[in-house]
Amino acid sequence: MERFLLTCTRCGNTEPFDVKGKCGCGGTFLVEYDLPYLRKSWNRQSLARRPWTMWRYRELLPVRQQASPVTLGEGGTPLLRLTSLERRLGLGGLYSKREEINPTGSFKARGFSVAVTLLQERGIRKVAVNSNGNAASALAAYAACAGMEAFVFVPMDCPGLIVEEAVHYGARVFLVDGLIQDAGRIVGRGIAEQGWFHTGTLREPGRAEGKKKRWGWKWRSSSAG
């Protein structure tokens, strides 16, 4: 099969990879990789020579041009061992992953690095998102890195620093008198009216794939999964 495909989580339908997030049945598309191929072409030694960012796992991201992602250095965040809480809960090992060290201050940077890379590969130049905060600043940052126009819609109670950050990145920011769902409806209308691509949660597969990489990968001698 192809190196990656889309598989619907509801009906199991499989389609060639694209940047659509929903199946005709209404289910969500997730990416399925050709893991047997990766086992033959990928190994621990190749990882050791790569930069310590999310893109060291580029074979497990659905991009065409793996050598030129839209990246700001996301990923590679450290684990902090919580020894006191380990003892209190009787656990053998408990860690907190320092995702606030990512560009724009949250794990959202991972998802938008992949999403914007996929959209750039397809010539998409206008992107939009509805957000309560972190997704707005992340899209604004990565769209700026890719030279895209970004439009973000946030509720009026969104923290002012995040709004200011998105503006400084060059995004067009709109405060919505309502909830994030109301902001999402505005973005939905703008797909046809304004020609932008909706990068909201599960609207395309890139964000989900980028978020997966914060969990890392366990290596076994017989596989690269």
Task: Summarize the chain as % helix, strand, coil (round to 5).
Answer: 40, 20, 40
Distances (CA, A) of 127 to 87, 148, 213: 47, 7, 23
Q: What is the tens place of the pLDDT at every residue in 152-196?
A: 999 999 999 999 999 999 999 999 999 999 999 999 999 999 999
Measured CA to CA, the distance from residue 71 to residue 52 in angstroms comes to 13
Q: What is the tens place of the pLDDT at every residue in 101-148?
A: 999 999 999 999 999 999 999 999 999 999 999 999 999 999 999 999
Q: Candidates 3.40.190.120, 3.40.630.10, 3.40.50.1100, 1.10.1740.110; correct CATH number of 107-208?
A: 3.40.50.1100
With b for 16 or more beta-carbon neighbours within 10 A and e for fewer, the 80-105 pattern comes to: eeeeeeeeeeeeeebeeeebeebbbb
Q: Locate the domains of the chain by residue range.
A: 4-70, 107-208
Task: Enter the pTM of the model.
Answer: 0.90
